Amino acid sequence: MKKSLCWIRRDLRLHDHYALREALHEADECLVAFIFDELILDKLHNKNDPRITLIFDSLKEIEHELNKHGSSLIVRFGNPVEEIPKIVSEFKVDGLFFNHDYEPYAHRRDTEVEKILRAKNVEVFHYKDHVFYEKKEILNGSREIYKVFTPYKNKWLETFRAQEEHIPEYKCNLKKLSEIKNSKNILDHDWLTEIGFLETECVLTGGSKEALKRLENFENFITNYKEARDIPALEQTSNLSAYIRMGNLSIRDMIRLAVEKDNAGYATWLSEIIWRDFYQMILEAFPHVDKHCFREEYDSIKWLGKKSDFESWCDGQTGYPLVDSAMRCLNTTGMMHNRLRMVVASFLTKTLLIDWRLGEKYFAEKLLDYDMAANNGGWQWSASTGVDAQPYFRIFNPYNQSEKFDPKGIYIRQWCPELANFSNKSIHSPHDTEMEEQLGAGCVIGHNYPHPIVGYKLQRDRALSMYKAVK
């Protein structure tokens, strides 16, 4: 074909990009476009949302690279179902290329765009790029979707090894980019004002260069990843999740590192990548999980928690130090350690007895790395309502979790500084200390830091009764 258009969405990079590679290969010249989707942005009530900053960082990096080849990123704001056909008509495009997105809204959007363009005799091509294996590529012996992770993982690995661990790299020949000048390019036009957001700081710098640098740095401590990843004070996770979400890295970038050595740390990293494929597959195959429990009988649970307790959880004021530290970190940075995501989710659902959907929604508003499939899967796992979820009677004890994964209270002291002068033993449950110790620590419970808003043991019994009622 003469001219192609690559529509980038959650794949904000110019390397190892399947749709872009094909768009460049199949046409004499290629355009690249990004749409600020008003239907998504309208749902973001915080107009200082730092995720927009990460997107802008990525788009600016892409624009600089396109400029080197005399091209420019086509940027629009609106409904993609309307904007993509407009771009196709304006630039006389023969074919549209994009990578799959498995979220329910994205699937409907992409289907509608394809329908409109095919009616105009414009070819449409779309590809698997966001995951390594899609829905129908990993099936059980009955040719059905796996609903338990471990056999899915085993089949994933079996399939991968049968391919002799071939990891393709989709190299993009940017010399075939269309030479265009763009008066509303991402560098010169005030897009923030146009889309209704304000400039804000972010704890991360977006873009593929930073992502690849962090991936390379992760290799320095991935050997110990299996053990160290559970200790939030060590900061020895990859810290790549936001970049993965934005598509600054490809799934293949990650897997190449994961299979580099035969070591428990590398294997654990690969397992986390497989979990990602698993949750994307579940969302694609069972889109009802967006609003409902995967195990539909749990939709009838009568959640007993109070609104005031939910607000205390959001604010990091529950009187449970590890939970409060994690929530304060989230509210300040937009990031949360994976172990702590499980702790605070179990606490909300099984100690405060509050619907997991409220927690999922709050995370969706705050997390820099928010991904519907992973967020939904994680919350439903913790609430025991989801695919391959922990049993409903497995309830994290927040005190035990604190003592085990922050034994010296390093993380708690960072995010709950009012507790800093308690001993390593007392800091996990400061409300149990004598007043003399509280005065010595400069923190009176109930004055400088809240009493626990609920009693763990009592709430555990209530949780078990709440779940048993629907069994």
On average, the pLDDT of the chain sits at: 96
Say if residue 257 is in the same domain as residue 365: no
Query: Taking CA 102 as the corner, what is the angle to CA 197 and CA 11, rounded to the nearest 5 degrees?
Result: 55
CA distance 312 to 130: 36
Mean pLDDT, range 441-470, rounded to an integer: 97
Q: What are 79's two structure tokens?
A: 């409904």
Say if residue 155 is in the same domain as residue 98: no
Amino acid 199: pLDDT = 87
pLDDT tens digits, 62-101: 999 999 999 999 999 999 999 999 999 999 999 999 999 9
Query: Of the candidates 278, 279, 212, which has an alpha carbon nearest to the alpha carbon of residue 16?
Result: 212
Amino acid 151: pLDDT = 97
pLDDT tens digits, 382-436: 999 999 888 999 999 999 999 999 999 999 999 999 999 999 999 999 999 999 9
Say if residue 240 is in the same domain as residue 303: no
Say if residue 350 is in the same domain as residue 422: yes
Q: Has 303 been annotated as catalytic? A: yes
pLDDT tens digits, 320-350: 999 999 999 999 999 999 999 999 999 999 9
- Number of CB atoms found within 10 A of residue 40's CB: 15
pLDDT tens digits, 248-265: 999 999 999 999 999 999
Q: Has 269 been annotated as catalytic? A: no
**Final residue of a structural domain among 285, 313, 340:** 285
Q: Classify residue 189: in a domain, yes or no.
A: no
305-309 contact pairs (CB < 8 A, 24+): 305/348, 305/352, 305/353, 305/354, 305/355, 306/352, 309/352, 309/354, 309/453, 309/454
Say if residue 272 is in the same domain as residue 336: no
Catalytic residue among 191, 269, 275, 381: 275
Amino acid symbol at 471: K
Sheet holding 29-37, edge to edge: 74-78, 29-37, 3-8, 95-99, 123-127
CA distance 120 to 113: 11
Mean pLDDT, range 29-40, rounded to an integer: 98
- Number of CB atoms found within 10 A of residue 468's CB: 10
Q: Which domain holds residue 268?
A: 131-169+208-285
Q: Has 156 been annotated as catalytic? A: no
**Final residue of a structural domain among 234, 261, 285:** 285
Say if residue 247 is in the same domain as residue 383: no
Say if residue 68 is in the same domain as residue 136: no
Q: Classify residue 61: in a domain, yes or no.
A: yes
Going by pLDDT thresholds of 50, 70 and 90, the confidence category of residue 164 is low
pTM of the entire structure? 0.95
Q: Has 338 been annotated as catalytic? A: yes
Say if residue 318 is in the same domain as residue 251: no
Say if residue 255 is in the same domain as residue 310: no
Q: What are 158's two structure tokens?
A: 């079996």
Catalytic residue among 239, 263, 331, 338: 338
Q: Has 275 been annotated as catalytic? A: yes
Amino acid 213: pLDDT = 97
Mean pLDDT, range 206-224, rounded to an integer: 96
Mean pLDDT, range 206-233, rounded to an integer: 95
Catalytic residue among 123, 303, 418, 421: 303
Read off the CATH number of the domain in which 22 is found. Answer: 3.40.50.620
Q: Classify residue 31: in a domain, yes or no.
A: yes
Say if residue 135 is in the same domain as residue 260: yes
Q: Has 297 been annotated as catalytic? A: no
Say if residue 309 is in the same domain as residue 423: yes
Query: Which ranges of 334-455 does DSSP label H, i.e. alpha helix?
Result: 338-346, 356-366, 372-383, 398-405, 410-415, 435-441
pLDDT tens digits, 406-419: 999 999 999 999 99
Amino acid 165: pLDDT = 64
Amino acid symbol at 301: I
CA distance 269 to 272: 5
Catalytic residue among 272, 365, 403, 437: 272
Going by pLDDT thresholds of 50, 70 and 90, the confidence category of residue 152 is very high
Read off the CATH number of the domain in which 448 is found. Answer: 1.10.579.10
Amino acid 389: pLDDT = 83
Query: Which ranges of 120-207 does DSSP label H, i.e. alpha helix?
Result: 149-162, 191-195
Q: What percent of the chain has pLDDT over 90?
A: 96
Going by pLDDT thresholds of 50, 70 and 90, the confidence category of residue 471 is confident
Domain count for the chain, please give it. 3
Mean pLDDT, range 309-320, rounded to an integer: 98
Amino acid 428: pLDDT = 98
Q: Would you say residue 314 has pLDDT above 70?
A: yes
Say if residue 90 is in the same domain as residue 45: yes
